[in-house]
Structure 1
Amino acid sequence: MPVRSVEVAADIMHGVTNSYAGLDDAGVAIAAAQAGAHVVRTMYGRNLTRIHKGAGDFATAADVEAEKTILGVIRAARPEDAVLGEESGEQGAAGAARRWLVDPLCGTLNYAVGNMLVAVNVALYDGAAAVADPFSGEVFFTDGETAWMRHDGADVRLSPTPATQLVDVNLDPPFPNAPGFRAVDLLAHPGFIERFRPRVVSTTLALAWVAAGKRAAYVTDGGDFRGSVHFAAGIALCRATGCVVTGIDGAPLGQAGRGLVVAADAETHELLMSMIRNRS
């Protein structure tokens, strides 16, 4: 079945595009994420063209088409806002007071090899956000104050908990904080083995799962996540649910090279930080 245009894909999700103008910011984030998820789901399993970005990174035609569809929703709803897209870069007025961050397909390598662990991320900088799972149909969203999961038309408030004892650790390069911090070393720490069970999802869907109580924590190396198209939506969800969000040094996010530790509660965060400090 051919790829649908921006307008048609949006229409499928929520009727005509001009109806987006009446949505609040959380509604726009949800509508955009769902429209992008529809494209990702529709194109799944095809032999897709890869667009190489260098250093082993690439996008697929699904990333590009999903982003076009998401941008169509945002433009229809908030024409004066700027947008930073993973594939298309900065768009909109340079002096715009508001900026949307869009990662149309987080987990591209998973997707390209037929793995369904992916996410569609849409966030207003320091505001509403949504993370859509294209294959479960779940949409995790926040208005910046509270966070919810929508599935089959029903909304359930997100409630983080460490009960699963599952900690998702991102092992994908680059590793800017090595050798001081290596995520793989955390997995060998005796305390980690005793208390937690590792998971490697390789998509920021794992952040939404921390907010929803499906993961106890998430750990990754990396740079400045404040305005990241990959992480902004998931971090917004976690903050709205009261998760502890810091860099790998335990400090607030802000300076490049700090990485990210998100935990369902303070005890889990402190346990992970003590292991990270020990290994560092």
Structure 2
Amino acid sequence: MERAARKAARGLIHDFGEVEQLQVSRKGPADFVSNADTKAEEVLREELARARPDFGFILEEGGKVEARDGESYWVIDPLDGTTNFLHGVPHFATSIALVQRGDIKAGMIYAPAVDEMFYAEKGKGAFVNDKRLRASGRTRMSDGLFATGIPFMGKPGHDTLLAELRALTDTVSGIRRFGVASLDLAYVAAGRFDGFWERHLQQWDIAAGIIIVREAGGLVTDITGGRRMMETGDIIAANNSLHAPLLKSLKAAVAKP
């Protein structure tokens, strides 16, 4: 996974340095796919298929490739934060997760602009480069720094998010929107954020981050408090102390008339 991510990153960094010359096509309103995105996915698929030829793929750009073994899939986002990338903002990542029989076994999120490699394997802890990760120890919402995502043009959920922001802004230390869900989750694992929530994500946005947060001692659920994040795309991740009050605040915000 590391070898594949670093090889794909070389192309991303090259293209990031020439972002004005990138050919870009529209996938939808305010949702872009670049040559860099496509090339990175091709590199990842080639490298991972060489290492594990029986594994399948769930790809942002390329769809699903069935696994020969019928149970093992690489879930890949080659360039999370495409809009940042295309605007010259050095905050983007490659995300890779291994899912077997519906269970996330390993995850890796690589931020090439700052050379930070977040990774975890089930039962073996979470790390950034060679440093062990731990979710934060903050216990009060008023001390907490949280992250979320703002639905872009053409996506549902604007009214819901505004209600949630109104409910939280007076009770927390701050709320950030950096535009890269995988790194938001990695930052929860690293204790940089105390919590993160977002709706309508795809499984390649969150699969790697879920196991990294869990292995760092954090809690991850869907917005109802259940475990259907990969199916619904709705997610809350936080440290052990602040997950419950964050979930309660978000539920209360949505319940208000």
TM-score (norm 1): 0.79
Is 1:168 matched up with 2:147?
yes
Q: Contact 2:57–2:74 (CA<8 Å) still a contact in 1?
A: yes
Separation in 1, partners of 2:62, 2:173: 39
* Count of matched residue positions in the alignment of Structure 1 and Structure 2: 241
Whichever residue aligns with residue 201 of structure 1, its letter is: F
Q: Contact 1:162–1:268 (CA<8 Å) still a contact in 2?
A: no
Separation in 1, partners of 2:137, 2:155: 26
Separation in 2, partners of 1:183, 1:97: 36
Is 1:35 matched up with 2:7?
yes
Structure with the higher strand share, 1 or 2: 2
Whichever residue aligns with residue 30 of structure 1, its letter is: E
Whichever residue aligns with residue 44 of structure 1, its letter is: F
Separation in 2, partners of 1:48, 1:70: 20
Separation in 1, partners of 2:204, 2:230: 16
Q: Contact 2:149–2:198 (CA<8 Å) still a contact in 1?
A: yes
2:179 matched residue in structure 1: 202
2:195 matched residue in structure 1: 217
Choose which of 20, 40, 45 in structure 1 pairs with 2:17.
45
Unaligned segments of structure 1, at least 5 residues: 1-28
Q: CA deviation at 1:51?
A: 2.5
Structure-2 change in CA distance of 1:256 and 1:78 (3 Å): closer
Choose which of 261, 265, 268 in structure 1 pairs with 2:236.
261
Unaligned segments of structure 2, at least 5 residues: none
Choose which of 60, 64, 70 in structure 2 pairs with 1:90.
64
CA RMSD after TM alignment: 2.1
2:45 matched residue in structure 1: 71
Q: Which digits, 9 at most, give the CA deviation of each residue in 1:211-247, with x for residues without a partner?
A: 0111111110126x5xx11111111111222211111
Q: Contact 1:168–1:219 (CA<8 Å) still a contact in 2?
A: yes
2:107 matched residue in structure 1: 129
Separation in 2, partners of 1:64, 1:258: 23
1:7 matched residue in structure 2: none
Separation in 1, partners of 2:216, 2:108: 14
2:30 matched residue in structure 1: 56
Q: Contact 1:222–1:257 (CA<8 Å) still a contact in 2?
A: yes
Structure-2 change in CA distance of 1:175 and 1:217 (3 Å): farther
Q: CA deviation at 1:165?
A: 2.2
Separation in 1, partners of 2:193, 2:92: 16
SS of residue matched to 2:95: strand
Separation in 1, partners of 2:199, 2:185: 14
Choose which of 243, 249, 257 in structure 1 pairs with 2:218.
243
Separation in 2, partners of 1:246, 1:82: 26
Q: CA deviation at 1:193?
A: 2.4
Q: Which digits, 9 at most, give the CA deviation of each residue in 1:4-26, with x for residues without a partner?
A: xxxxxxxxxxxxxxxxxxxxxxx
Sequence identity percentage: 26
Q: CA deviation at 1:199?
A: 0.5
